[in-house]
Structure 1
Amino acid sequence: MTVYYSSAAGSHVGMVRANNQDSGYSGVDLFVVADGMGGHAGGDVASALTIKSLQELDREFTAPEDAASAFRDKLLTTNKVLSETVYEHPELAGMGTTVSGLITVGDQLALAHIGDSRVYLLREGEFSQITADHTFVQRLVDSGRITEEEAKTHPRRSVLMRVLGDVDSSPEIDTMVFRTQPGDVWLLCSDGLSSYVSDTELHDILTQRTSLDGAVDKLIEKSLVHGAPDNVTAVLLETHATPQADLEPKTVGSASMPIAYGEAESDSASGGGWLRGGRRVAPVPESHFEPRVDDYLDEIIAESRRRVRQRRVIWLLAVALVAAILATGTFLAYQWTQTRFFVGTNGDTVLIYQGIQQDVGPISLSSEFEDTGIPIDSLGAFDRRRVEATINAESIENAREIVLRLEDTDG
């Protein structure tokens, strides 16, 4: 099938950081997003170098499998370039970058992915995530140790298990081949978008688009509405059945500017920033790579389990406290009822009861206190009706006074 493509790309520094560590590229055959890590230690350098290196893949391939293989090889070569850069500029030690990209080959796409940037697909109204995050929390989710909801607030959510950089000499890279069809919209984005804009919002923006450029602007704007504490980069690729205008390569983010080695972020970038309106926001947790060792994983898993146990203990203590308050209130209420008295009958004689005339389920709140021995039949019609309906008394003394009046009337 002959298909045609249109694309758009955009990047924004966000509302907190002082420099943009994201880079993006929308070319003729190559479309890619890279999210640098390392802050002032070179996140912007890592993503920019990666994009510039990958631009050599923006050419025609005869088969998508060849494109996927070339993509993987180029990323491994780029990984060495980043390591060599750190050797020449030691102040950049620890820098790295995520990469998520597509190469078009006719109606098929070769995908390469490492890190937590993402590729989504909107097809016939259905919006789905194509790539899997290479993060510690995603590993916990996949193993069933935590839920997707817990992953969103997990304190280790910024820990990356796979990235390009001087942190791993031979990183594992995911590659896949997909067939695309007219009407498909592919979204490539950094976690500055996916972490703060919900899938529902992403779906709505893409389905309601009037143009790809407008959709990119709205995606970034939506992240800004949510505070945009991280850099935001998005690349859109749409498949068509009819010819489109020729694609013009576009570079965004750090890769669109000259690379500056070792320039530190300002204090506002590392210590938190300001939202519109003057409200201070908290610093953004910096994504970072951690070695994939069993001891490390076991320690983090144990920490997660400890947090779960702590939450359960707190929940149980709260339940126990509420139960104690309810029990105390019930006891005090019952004690109060036992200070009340009333005059009534068991059908034969006049009785003094302690408590009140209500029941709580099967529990009676009154009990016989004293049998006066006065036959109910000896009372006049009026007094008999009063006793059968019960006569409230403020105290036992008051109850006995009522009984004496009944005796006088009887006499």
Structure 2
Amino acid sequence: MASVKASAAVSHVGRVRSNNQDSGYAGRRLFLVADGMGGHAGGDVASAITTQYMQRADVDFGDAREAAVGLEEALLEANRRLAETVAEHTELTGMGTTFSGIVVEGDRVAIAHIGDSRIYLLRGGELSQISTDHTFVQRLVDSGRITAEEAMVHPRRSVLMRVLGDVESTPEIDTLVLDTRAGDRWLICSDGLSGFVSFETLHELLDSEASAKLVADRLVKASLDAGAPDNVTVVLVDIGEPPAPETPPLIVGSAAAPLAFGAAAEPVKPRGIRLTPFRPHPVQETHFEPDSEEYFDEIIEEDARRRRRRRIVWGFWIALLVVAIVAVFGLGYQWTQTRYYVGESNGRVAIFQGIQQDLGPISLHELHEETEVDVSELRTYDQQRIEQTISADSLSDARAIVERLEASLD
């Protein structure tokens, strides 16, 4: 029978944002990350309400399948409470949050997930991503339209197709039950980590004998070192053999601060952040769009138009560059044909047009006229000059050089 050996939760505001819209929770059986939607008002409030409400799911369900059902029901209730909060505080309209969480029940783990926070499992030195992002670009990857590498830099990589909030009354939540065993290491994180730290680096940092807390700190540092502008939240769970020490629950991020609502939100028993009708720190990195085929097809067409425009622009600049290169080459070639030099052809002194160089297979000179003067009859000094060629600024200068050579024979 496996049990939780150790856990850790760390959250950081990131290098750009001025407030933390992530929340994390490491409890006795429940471990989760909620990432508030940064492009909407109240992302920090949404993740905090969800995290504080979901703490009631940190109980002994007795069975992993029952735990999965319990997580889904609790999330739908949390979604309803978010909608109620917006109804009482209209300045929070559009707020939302992702959720990724696990409940450890002996040798099995119940998983619930919505949004683009992620769940990973390190087992036997092999790292695998357990959750699937509910994002626009993930749908493009799943349909074979783009690669996973292209998704990392796609202009719409932040578009979420499913979240908790006041958008849908019954959002679709992914649930799953998996086996777990001693030695497993579970990672739950916001996209502030997964969006900026490569899979290879995650694998390297997780596959360590260091403590859960130390590894969690290293993961957050790796994200910050990569310049992550978003909030970064990491929850790490190590599975071991019982009996395992029980640590008190730990809350990090926006849920760690108290919430203060009004009478409408009293059943949630929130504590902390005073709601005001203004957002002091608006941010726009993340946004949500409804999960509809019409929208999906519209965005596909928009991306196709963008690619076509990009190809047209690149084609224009490439054509312009080719024209410029041809023009420069043409002008350069014309200039070479205004030059002459005196050299040798068939053993005789000859006048050549151009310069004594070649540009790859293109010759920049040609025989203009061959004289009756034999090179062998010239003085040794003049023979050497002919072999090395004598440059002339014009045809008349070249003929004058030939006349001087002929005169030297007398």
TM-score class, shorter-chain normalisation, is 0.7 to 0.9
Shift of 1:384: 5.1
Q: TM-score, normalised by structure 1?
A: 0.86
Residue identity in the other structure for 1:58: D
Q: Does 1:5 align with 2:5?
A: yes
Q: What are the equivalent positions in structure 2 for 1:353-364 lying under 5 Å apart?
A: 353-364=352-363
C-alpha distance in 2, partners of 1:19/1:405?
Answer: 89
What is the DSSP-based 3-state SS (H/G/I as helix, E as strand, rest coil) of the residue aligned with 1:326?
helix
Structure 1: runs of 5+ lacking an equivalent: 271-283
Partners of 1:408 and 1:91 in 2: CA distance: 102
1:30-69 alignment, distance < 5 Å: 30-37=30-37, 41-69=41-69
Cα distance in 2, alignment partners of residues 286 and 370 from structure 1: 73
Q: Secondary structure at the match of 2:113?
A: strand
Conserved? CA contact 2:38–2:284, under 8 Å: no
Please list the CA deviations of residues 121-180 of structure 1 after superposition, one character each: whole Å capped at 9, or x if unmatched. 222333332211111122223223334344334333332111112211121111112222
Q: Find the aligned partners of 1:209 and 1:197 in 2 and give their Cα distance.
A: 20
Q: In 1, distance between residues paired with 2:48 and 2:10? A: 15
* Aligned-partner SS, 1:367: strand
- Indicate the larger mover: 96-105 or 54-63: 54-63
The alignment partner of 1:25 has SS state of: strand
Distance 1:198 1:320 in 2: 37
Query: Which one-letter code corresponds to 1:246 in the other structure?
Result: E
Shift of 1:397: 1.9
Compare 177-186 and 9-18 and name the one that shifted more: 9-18
Cα displacement (A) at 1:379: 4.8
- Give the distance between the partners of 1:225 and 1:380, measured in 2 at CA: 76
Q: Secondary structure at the match of 1:356?
A: strand
Rounded to whole Å, the distance in 2 between the matches of 1:388 and 1:22 is: 81
- What CA distance in whole angstroms lies between the structure 1 residues aligned with 2:405 and 2:114? 94
Which aligned pairs between 1:330-349 and structure 2 lie closer than 5 A? Answer: 330-347=329-346, 349=348
* 1:299 Cα offset (Å): 2.4
Distance 1:222 1:390 in 2: 66
State the Cα distance separating 1:209 from its structure 2 match.
5.8
Q: After the TM superposition, which of the residue ranges 126-135 and 152-161 deviates more from structure 2?
A: 152-161
Mapping of residues 158-169 of structure 1, within 5 Å:
158-169=158-169
The CA deviation string for residues 226-256 of structure 1, in whole angstroms up to 9 with x for no partner, is 4553322211001124643223222222323
- The equivalent of 1:366 in structure 2 is 365
Look up the equivalent residue of 1:78 and give its one-letter code.
Answer: A
Q: Distance in 1 between matches of 2:189 and 2:226?
A: 16
Of stretches 155-164 and 39-48 in structure 1, the one that deviates more from structure 2 is: 39-48
Q: Equivalents in 2 of 1:40, 1:292: separation in Å? A: 17
Shift of 1:350: 3.2
Partner secondary structure for residue 41 of structure 1: coil
Note closer, same or farther for the CA distance 1:286–1:371 as it changes in structure 2 (3 Å cut). closer
After TM superposition, give the deviation of residue 380 of structure 1 in Å.
5.8
- 2:405 is matched with 406
Distance verdict in 2 for CA 1:98–1:402, change over 3 Å: same
Shift of the 378–35 alpha-carbon distance from structure 1 to 2, 3 Å rule, reads closer
Aligned pairs for 1:300-311 within 5 A? 300-311=299-310
User: 1:363 Cα deviation (Å)?
Assistant: 2.6
Q: Tell me: CA distance 1:211–1:381, structure 2 relative to 1, closer, same or farther (3 Å).
A: closer
Question: Which amino acid is the alignment partner of residue 63 of structure 2?
Answer: A
Q: Secondary structure at the match of 1:233?
A: strand
> Structure 1 residue 356: deviation in Å?
2.1
2:326 matches 1:313: no
CA pair 220-27 structure 1, distance change in 2 beyond 3 A: same
Alignment of 1:177-188 (within 5 A): 177-188=177-188
The answer to whether 1:392 aligns with 2:391 is yes
**Residues 2, 180 of structure 2: 8 Å contact kept:** no
Task: Structure 2: state its 5+ residue gaps.
Answer: 262-274
C-alpha separation between the residues in 2 aligned to 1:239 and 1:135? 30
Which amino acid is 2:366 matched to?
S
Are 1:263 and 2:276 counterparts? yes
Distance 1:288 1:175 in 2: 23
CA distance in 2, matches of 1:287, 1:74: 25
Which stretch of structure 1 is more off in the superposition, 132-141 or 95-104?
Answer: 132-141
Deviation at 1:22, TM superposition (A): 1.9
Counterpart of 1:82, as a letter, is L
Which is further off, 32-41 or 173-182? Answer: 32-41
Cα distance in structure 2, aligned partners of 1:39 and 1:364:
63
Work out whether 1:294 is the aligned partner of 2:307.
no
Whether the aligned pair in 2 keeps the contact of 1:21 and 1:39 (CA below 8 Å) is no
In the TM superposition, 1:144-183 aligns within 5 A as 144-183=144-183
Verify the 8 A CA contact 1:19 1:265 in the aligned structure 2.
Answer: no
Do the aligned residues in 2 keep the contact of 1:40 with 1:263 (CA within 8 Å)?
no
Tell me: CA distance 1:118–1:374, structure 2 relative to 1, closer, same or farther (3 Å): same
2:70 is matched with 70
- Aligned-partner Cα distance in 1 for 2:311–2:289: 29
Output aligned runs, 1:183-332, within 5 Å: 183-208=183-208, 210-241=210-241, 243-261=243-261, 262-263=275-276, 267=280, 269-270=281-282, 284-332=283-331
Q: Which SS does the other structure have where 2:229 is aligned?
A: coil
Closer/same/farther in 2, CA of residues 183 and 338 from structure 1, 3 Å limit? same
Q: Percent identity?
A: 54
Corresponding position of 1:278: none
Counterpart of 2:159, as a letter, is V
Residue of structure 2 equivalent to 1:273:
none
Deviates more, 1:11-20 or 1:96-105: 11-20
Structure 2 letter corresponding to 1:328: A
1:4–1:243 CA contact under 8 A, matched in 2: no
Q: Which moved more, 1:90-99 or 1:222-231?
A: 222-231
